Structure 1
Amino acid sequence: MTKYRTLYLLIILLFVAGGLFFWSALVPTGKLPEAGMAGSNGNEAMTALDRPDICEETVFEGARASLCIIDPAANATRLVYRDRTGVPHGSVKRAVTALATFGQTPVLAMNAGMYHSDMTPVGLYVEDGKEISPLNTDDDFGNFFLKPNGVFFIRPDGTAGVMETMAYAGAEIAPAFATQSGPMLVINGEIHPRFLPDGTTRYIRNGVGVRTDGKLVLAITRDPVSLGSFARLFKDVAMCPNALFFDGGVSSMAWGAHMEIDAGEPAGPVVVVMLRD
């Protein structure tokens, strides 16, 4: 019986050792992935091997974010919405893929405005000087209608601006590109008056601002943040006196052909940044 007990004990020990090995393989180490391994939702590593020179990483109020500073003299910024057959791209990834087909892979691309269920823009949308959707001054529910909302526009000379909707309506601007969204994040140096300092609703968010030196800033967070915190990022870090919210929860960004942050959700208008010739 002794040899059987020994055999049984050996089998039990082998079973326990195997279980411990299997369990250790399942338990996470708590470490972030190495650089270059940033994943689809923005919550992994803060850097990637193909990060554009115009983009930098920061941590603000405990949340990671990417800030991309675009000089109109070095980069051309435009908006795209539909392919050459008139069908909406429907995502940042498809927009980038379509541009690459014609040898126009952007340096950077991200979603740039809200859309209806049929993918049409909720507010103003202008592409190549043609108005596809008119300015929307209606009152309704949702972030777009959290007044004041605003317009991001690019002039024919490549310079850009962000302006509150009613101010834009009275400015008689004839943009080459424009997209309306809401709410404004920063208005003439002040945080949107209806924002709580740090509300409980948090998403990965993206938006655009323009600095006093004429450079525009495209920002996206890698961790969920409140609108108040996101607005302070533009005001206090990006130094933008005017900034506009693009969206939250669907926010996505491509670096070249690489989807650095991909929410896996549809996108209407897309802003792309190209190198100037």
Structure 2
Amino acid sequence: MLIGVGSPAFAVECATMEHVGAGYTVCKVDTTQEAIRLFLRDPETGKPLGSFDNVERLVRARGETLSFAMNAGMYHQDRSPVGHYLEKGQEVRGVITTEGPGNFGLLPNGVFCIAKDGAQVYETKRYVDESPACTYATQSGPMLVIDGALHPRFLKDSDSRYIRNGVGTSADGKTVYFVISEEPVNFHAFGTLFRDVLKVPQALYFDGNISRLYVPGLNRHDMGFPMGPIVGVTRPTE
């Protein structure tokens, strides 16, 4: 049940909801109206941006407003992406098709692809086979929902609980849901929110240790350790 909505003055529609006894914040983006981008390094210095504040300063200098941001995938200690990363059509890291560290290795994992005509989550092997024309892409894992089905290795009674965040996409690529839990949850509960409530055919896990959210419309700006890839929604400043 929706119990709060972000201000219509902002580009992203966000709301809080409850699912299986836990609270979540869900942000819905219409890709036909809003620009979704990935951010990793400062284009001038080459250093990792690492924080919502740095991304906000970067887009403000370009005459834009950052209306939403979230961490967007696993990264190494130097904040470089663990998996595939593409920014403005330039590949920073190639696709990893073998098992990686931690949850990345809970195969299948996937890729969040932002293209000119929308955004999609792809299971990694499908992404490699189809080679979609992505402008931005970030690989993470595990997949949460695959073709409408929950990841086969999720256990309903698992005691592995973290604050978790992820992304799900509609079949036509026009709607993207970014979700963060407000309390520790397991993979099964998190995945069923995408499958049963948001009803998206594909969903991907971003992280569970440093999950954070930036939504000015909700007066929310999570702080914490420096991040690697960050996904954001920008629009020209009025």
State TM-score, norm by structure 1. 0.77
- Structure 2 unaligned segments of length 5 or more: list them: none
Partner of 1:70: 29
Higher RCO, Cα 8 Å, sep 6+: 2
Q: Does 1:171 align with 2:127?
A: no
Within a 5 Å distance, the mapping from 1:81-96 to structure 2 comes to: 81-85=40-44, 86-96=46-56
Aligned to 1:222: 182
Contact 2:210 2:224 in 1 (8 A): yes
Structure-1 separation of matches of 2:53 and 2:6? 19
Higher-strand-fraction structure: 2
Q: Is 1:274 paired with 2:238?
A: no
Query: 109, 134, 137: which is aligned to 2:97?
Result: 137
Q: Flag the structure with larger Rg.
A: 1
Task: Say if 2:64 and 2:236, in contact at 8 Å, map to a contact too.
Answer: no
Partners of 1:201 and 1:226 within 8 A in 2: yes
CA distance in 2, matches of 1:128, 1:188: 28
Relative to structure 1, the CA distance from residue 87 to residue 145 in structure 2 (aligned partners, 3 Å threshold; closer, same or farther) is: same
8 Å Cα contact 1:74/1:276 also seen in 2? no
1:196-240 residue CA offsets vs partner (Å, 9 max, x unmatched): 113111111110000235311111111111111000111111111
In 2, Cα distance between the equivalents of 1:164 and 1:228?
18
**Local SS of the residue matching 2:83:** coil
Q: Within 1, Cα distance between the matches of 2:198 and 2:221? A: 20
Q: How does 1:40-189 map onto structure 2 within 5 Å?
A: 52=10, 54-85=13-44, 86-157=46-117, 159-189=118-148
Distance 1:179 1:274, change over 3 A: same
Looking at secondary structure, tell me which structure has more helix per residue.
Answer: 1
Number of corresponding residues = 231
Which portions of structure 1, spanning 4 or more consecutive aligned residues, are displaced by more than 4 angstroms?
46-53
Q: TM-score under structure 2 normalisation?
A: 0.89
Q: Is the 8 A contact 2:5 2:13 kept in 1?
A: no
Root mean square deviation of aligned Cα? 2.2
| Structure 2 SS opposite 1:100 | helix
Give runs of aligned pairs for residues 187-226 of structure 1, distance below 5 A: 187-213=146-172, 214-226=174-186
The gaps in structure 1 that reach 5 residues or longer are: 1-45
- For residues 225-269 of structure 1, what are the alpha-carbon distances to aligned partners after superposition, in whole Å with 9 as ceiling and x for unaligned? 111100011111111110000001201111139872525122111
